[in-house]
Amino acid sequence: MITFFNDSHQAHAPEFEFFRGERVPCFETPARADHVKASLVARGHALQRSQTDSAAVLSRVHSPRYLAFLENAWRDWCGQAPGNEQRQPFPSVWPVRSLRSDIEPLDFVARLGLYSMDNGSPLAAGTWTAARAGADAAASAATLVAAGKNGERAAFCCSRPPGHHAGADFMGGYCFLNNAAVAAQTLLDAGAARVAILDVDYHHGNGTQSIFYDRADVLFVSLHGDPLTEYPFYLGHADETGSGNGTGFNLNLPLSAGCTAEHWFDALEHACLRITRFGGDALVVSLGLDTFAEDPISKFALQSADFTRLGKRLGAVGLPTVFVLEGGYAAVALGTNAANVIEGFEDF
């Protein structure tokens, strides 16, 4: 399976974040993708640079106002006050219920709050460069799979920052551009009539759900930590089934913290059967690997061998498949776990 690697990911390297009230080193670091790349190379997998410009599809996934903000964010932050280039910006106010969001404030920190769902997604000088290159990698993987040349039935977008918490007009959860949505829309633009997205990250892909919630051409299925206790808290419940034309095309399978591997695979089976009934032309997998038992910020119990089992079950779905790297913060093990999924898929 060809992997599209985002060489520019290292440009996004903020120094710290806030976690449970403390200033801590970032969990989402360049080392994550580097470990995955090293593991794939060591195990004989082919890597390619991105070949597809995602600009057109990004304009269909994200709002123009949000894209303009994100592209200019670091410049605007540095221009707000002397010395800001040495500081990380964080939002301090958000337009919650009864406040207006239709007018964009002039103050940068206020604009940052307008486009953020949390204060846990720190910006850095190279954030736009890295995120944009990641979207290109996702579009490249989807374009390859859509073309089906040389028997390629799957491709892997190994990129960071991740994307599944980013909505049409907001960032959050370390995510800025929604790579899974870019991959799905690229497949649709290339001729697929229907695309399924399966999100196996520990955290619900709220951004992906919101982007496609009223559409019948994309089925979104997610198994994740119960939002009653787990991030993103405000989306991911089982009663969220879609709206309008999308009614019935959203399936959430929330699981309690501490969920065993067997319970998790029962939910995966439910998800895969729903995807089969959907009858889509292709599958996008938001490949979060923070379900690993040793992940520092998650609470499921999968072991490295379980990711091979995951890959085999996804291979059995039998659809052209694009894998998009999402979360997973046990950085050293991340490479092994990602390669296990890919090889399990290929061995089916």
Residue 219: left (phi > 0), alpha (psi -120 to 50), or beta?
beta
Q: Could you tell me the pTM of the whole model? A: 0.97
Section 72-91 average pLDDT? 96
Alpha-carbon distances, residue 210 vs 108, 213, 224 (angstroms): 25, 5, 16
- Amino acid letter, residue 319: L
Residue 82 makes CB contacts below 8 A (sequence gap 6+) with none
- Reduced to 3 states (helix: H, G, I; strand: E, B; else coil), residue 290 is coil
- Reduced to 3 states (helix: H, G, I; strand: E, B; else coil), residue 214 is coil
Cβ atoms 220, 307 nearer than 8 A: no
Cβ atoms 172, 120 nearer than 8 A: yes
Alpha-carbon distances, residue 297 vs 26, 69, 294, 314 (angstroms): 12, 29, 9, 25
DSSP state of 28: S
Query: Nearest Cα to 88, choosing from 53, 57, 124, 113?
Result: 124
Encoded tokens for 43: 């195990």
**pLDDT of 171 above 80:** yes
176-205 tens-digit pLDDT = 999 999 999 999 999 999 999 999 999 999
Catalytic residue from among 9, 12, 164, 165 = 165
**pLDDT of 293 above 90:** yes
Q: For the chain, what is the mean pLDDT?
A: 96
**pLDDT of 77 above 80:** yes
Residue 295 CB-density burial (10 A; 0-12 exposed, 13-18 middle, 19+ buried): buried
- DSSP result, 314-329: HHHH-S-EEEEE----
Kindly report the CATH number assigned to the domain that includes residue 190: 3.40.800.20
Encoded tokens for 56: 């057109």
DSSP state of 281: S
pLDDT at res. 21: 85
Cβ atoms 286, 208 nearer than 8 A: yes
Section 263-286 average pLDDT? 98
255-266 tens-digit pLDDT = 999 999 999 999
35-58 tens-digit pLDDT = 999 999 999 999 998 889 999 999
pLDDT at res. 348: 83
What are the φ/ψ torsions at residue 300 (nearest 5 degrees)?
A: -105, 180
Query: In angstroms, rounded to a whole number, what is the distance separating the alpha carbons of residues 264 and 200?
Result: 10
**Banded pLDDT at 28 (limits 50, 70, 90):** very high
**pLDDT of 151 above 80:** no
State the angle between helix axes of 304-317 and 261-278 in degrees (0 to 180), rounded to the nearest 10: 20
**pLDDT of 236 above 80:** yes
Q: Which long-range contacts (CB under 8 A, 24 or more apart) does 303-308 make?
A: 303/261, 304/333, 304/336, 304/337, 304/340, 305/340, 306/261, 306/265, 307/337, 307/338, 307/340, 307/341, 307/344, 308/340, 308/341, 308/343, 308/344, 308/347
Query: In angstroms, rounded to a whole number, what is the distance separating the alpha carbons of residues 311 and 326?
Result: 15
- Amino acid letter, residue 287: L
Residue 86 makes CB contacts below 8 A (sequence gap 6+) with none
- Amino acid letter, residue 258: G
Domain that holds residue 237: 2-347
Strand stretches in 142-296, DSSP E = 154-158, 195-199, 218-225, 250-255, 282-287
Query: In angstroms, rounded to a whole number, what is the distance separating the alpha carbons of residues 97 and 174?
Result: 24
Query: In angstroms, rounded to a whole number, what is the distance separating the alpha carbons of residues 166 and 185?
Result: 15
pLDDT at res. 7: 86
Tell me whether residue 165 is one of the annotated catalytic residues. Answer: yes
Q: What's the structural domain count of the chain?
A: 1
- DSSP result, 131-148: HHHHHHHHHHHHHHHHHT
